[in-house]
Amino acid sequence: MKSVWRQPLFIIGFGIVAFFLGGSYVFEWIFGNVPKQTFFIEENGRAVEGPPISPSWMHPLGTDQFGYDMLAKIMLGAKYTILAAMAVAALRMFIAIPLGFVIGTYFQRQRAWINALIDPIHYVPMTIFAVLLLTPILWMPEEGFSTTINERIIFQVIIMALITVPIVATLIGNEANLLYHQEYILAARTLGASRRRIIIRHLTPQLREKMLVLYGQQVVESLIVFAHLGLLQLFLGGTDVDYDPMFGDPPKSISFEWAGIFGNTFQYLQGAPWLPLGPAVSFALVILAIAAMIEGYTRAINGKVKLTKRKKMAFVSDETIEWNQQQLKSKLILLKKDMTASK
């Protein structure tokens, strides 16, 4: 792991992510959790510009349609966006890793039809499943939410994690199955090692680096899905909807997470392009930073993390293993007799 910190790509990516995460907490500690609001720009006693205010020294990224500073909103929302994506990816890997090991070792005969069942899901955008499952939870009904914001965030994290678990589990299962047929593991099985022991002592150490890379990829995918949900006005923690037919405001995010900022300002793309540009660039920077960390980590371990392509492997039956065990025992008995006779 020490060699990772010698990789420029990893250091740059880590620095960007640390800047947004650490800067978010420091910014809130210094300036508070409410962005500065400016109702108009005044020159010579006259109002010359109102919200949304274009970028200036006072507001480097401008203000939104309500006069709130965009830079402050992005910095305040960074921790919610990045930590939520990390939580989704962590829960997804926590469920998929043991499930993948089970598929790759205990269900070898059924692995072909499991892959055939899961493979078509690769071609369906995950955002579609997320929208169908999260709309009843995140879209505020006319009578208001019956759940708290923390409960909705937990539900959203769980659902977004479960959506991709089958794909990640089959990927890990295929990798585990390839290793399960290596000679050194076949020797361990011949000597009587159980599947559980093989998973713990052999498969997990061999796949640890690949699973770290896969975790980073899942964080990136979660950020992309968050951005898509923001465009569809499904925001982290819930969407505040005003049902007043005459003077109702557009749906807005309850927090300052980036998907909410992006979704609330995308309609101003032509008239005030700095509004959606800020969160969009922030999403892109963090995604590129994580990709740089993955690349730097891969280079640090000399390219050992490249995921191997799935190959058809011969199935070793339990009868063959039992026969190998008997042959090995008989040879050991003969060797012991020869050693005794020589003495």
What distance in Å separates the CA atoms of residue 170 and residue 14, rounded to the nearest whole number? 29
Residue 235 lies in a domain: yes
Residue 320 lies in a domain: no
Report the Cα 17 to chain-centroid distance in Å: 14
Tokens of 207: 């796949």
Residue 331 lies in a domain: no
How far are the Cα atoms of 79, 179, 321, 328, 329 from residue 324, in angstroms, in the given order?
56, 19, 5, 6, 9
Residue 338 clears pLDDT 70, i.e. is over it = no
**pTM of the entire structure?**
0.82
| Confidence bin at 131 (pLDDT 50/70/90) | very high
Higher-scoring residue by pLDDT: 31, 244: 31
Residue 309 clears pLDDT 50, i.e. is over it = no
The 10s digit of each residue's pLDDT in 7-21 is: 899 999 999 999 999
Domain that holds residue 308: 75-312
What distance in Å separates the CA atoms of residue 146 and residue 152, rounded to the nearest whole number? 10
What distance in Å separates the CA atoms of residue 286 and residue 81, rounded to the nearest whole number? 10
Tally of structural domains, the chain: 1
Looking at residue 337, its pLDDT comes to 66
Best-predicted range by mean pLDDT (1-5, 228-232, 238-242)? 228-232
Residue 211 lies in a domain: yes
Residue 67 lies in a domain: no
What distance in Å separates the CA atoms of residue 248 and residue 246, rounded to the nearest whole number? 6
Residue 226 clears pLDDT 70, i.e. is over it = yes
The 10s digit of each residue's pLDDT in 257-297 is: 999 999 888 888 888 888 999 999 999 999 999 999 999 99
For the chain, what percent of residues have pLDDT higher than 90? 41
Residue 162 clears pLDDT 90, i.e. is over it = yes
What distance in Å separates the CA atoms of residue 213 and residue 289, rounded to the nearest whole number? 14
Residue 36 lies in a domain: no
User: What residue has token string 């699973």?
Assistant: 211
The answer to whether 103 and 114 are in contact (CB under 8 A) is: yes
Residue 340 clears pLDDT 80, i.e. is over it = no
Range list of β-strands (E), the chain: 41-43, 46-49, 239-240, 252-253
- Mean per-residue pLDDT over the chain, rounded: 85
pLDDT mean over 229-236: 92
| Confidence bin at 343 (pLDDT 50/70/90) | low
The 10s digit of each residue's pLDDT in 199-222 is: 888 888 888 888 999 999 999 999
pLDDT mean over 37-44: 79
Q: Which of 70, 33, 87 has its CA nearest to residue 226?
A: 87
The type of residue at 240 is: D
Looking at residue 321, its pLDDT comes to 59
The 10s digit of each residue's pLDDT in 44-81 is: 777 777 788 888 888 898 888 888 999 999 999 999 99
The answer to whether 239 and 140 are in contact (CB under 8 A) is: yes
Residue 139 lies in a domain: yes
What distance in Å separates the CA atoms of residue 63 and residue 66, rounded to the nearest whole number? 7
pLDDT mean over 231-242: 89
Q: How many CA atoms lie within 13 A of 165 on its CB side?
A: 20
Q: Indicate the burial class of 312 (C-beta count within 10 angstroms; 0-12, 13-18, 19 or more).
A: exposed
- H/E stretch holding 336 reads helix 318-342
CATH assignment at residue 281: 1.10.3720.10
Residue 137 lies in a domain: yes
The answer to whether 129 and 161 are in contact (CB under 8 A) is: no
| Confidence bin at 114 (pLDDT 50/70/90) | confident
SS3 percent helix, strand, coil of the chain, rounded to 5, is 65, 5, 30
3-class SS at 153? helix
| Confidence bin at 311 (pLDDT 50/70/90) | very low
What distance in Å separates the CA atoms of residue 276 and residue 216, rounded to the nearest whole number? 25
Higher-scoring residue by pLDDT: 312, 194: 194
Looking at residue 336, its pLDDT comes to 62
